[in-house]
Amino acid sequence: MSEIVFIDGKFYPKEKAKVSVFDHCLLYGDGVFEGIRLYDGCVFRLRQHIERLYSSAKYVAMEIPLTIEEMEWVVLETCRKNKLEDAYIRLIVTRGEGDLGLAPWLCRIPTVICIASKISLYPEEAYANGLSIITAPTQRMSVAALNGRVKSCNYLNNILAKLEGKNAGVSEALMLNSDGYVVECTGDNIFIVKGNALITPPQYQGALLGVTRDAIVELGAELGLDVRQEPFTRFEIFDADECFMTGTAAEVVAVVNLDARTIADGRPGPVTKKLCKLFRERVSNDGAMLSTKAPAPKRISTIWAK
């Protein structure tokens, strides 16, 4: 069966799901998005993802034409139409169709797209053995340029760092800011463990406020760890007891080597393993259930017809 995609109030087979070549997301990367997971019929922390989407849209001065509740329905109904119980969901809001100029105010109405598909994760050996990564030469953009808290469709900064990781033969790369402090990886947040402390970079340095990151912060506190959000450098990673990344696709995966320095004994540590286990136990009951159905909001079919 062909995948079903939501675009501007209607559902289309994948082959017919199209947007205008004048859409400003295509022309300028002018849009925001969310990557969301569906676990055993539960869309993990859907409300938190959607609230972050609306925060990103507010930052770029984009008014999303749907209410939060309507957007939740779009996500859930897209999963239902694709008959999925486990999936990766990509929710996108673009500036919409305009002209070839830069002016966003000439775009009449934002475009809303929702895709639900099967997901390709890190191979199981990555979770069993951990990952080796490198520090990318490309620095993370300054928060004064484009705040990393905005999940923007302009991902070139991350893509360049991802290419540098691939060129070095690894699947991920660490990104630093201009002062040499750790911010995040190209697609994941990062944590270190030192003694009883669980530490992740603070939001003011431009790290994405990841939904998985937030869950791990909560779980760490439940385990009695001293959870901190504070700056650290590569040195603290080299010297850490454990290091791991978190993300919607990655979940929780250990980092055992950075820039040819082995971290601790070079194996996933006990805190990482425990947090990964607890996270996986929580995901299928912490969110919006597909089984809870609501009628289609009548307004959705009329918004883009105006």
Catalytic residue numbers read: 151
Interatomic CA distance for residues 254 and 162, integer angstroms: 18
Non-local (6+) Cβ contacts of 169 within 8 A are none
Q: What are phi and psi of 254, to 5 degrees?
A: -75, 145
Reduce the DSSP state of residue 12 to 3 states and report it: strand
Interatomic CA distance for residues 54 and 1, integer angstroms: 32
116 forms beta bridges with 89
Structure-token pair, residue 66: 């749907």
Interatomic CA distance for residues 201 and 229, integer angstroms: 5
Interatomic CA distance for residues 227 and 72, integer angstroms: 31
Q: Are 94 and 25 within 8 A, CB to CB?
A: yes
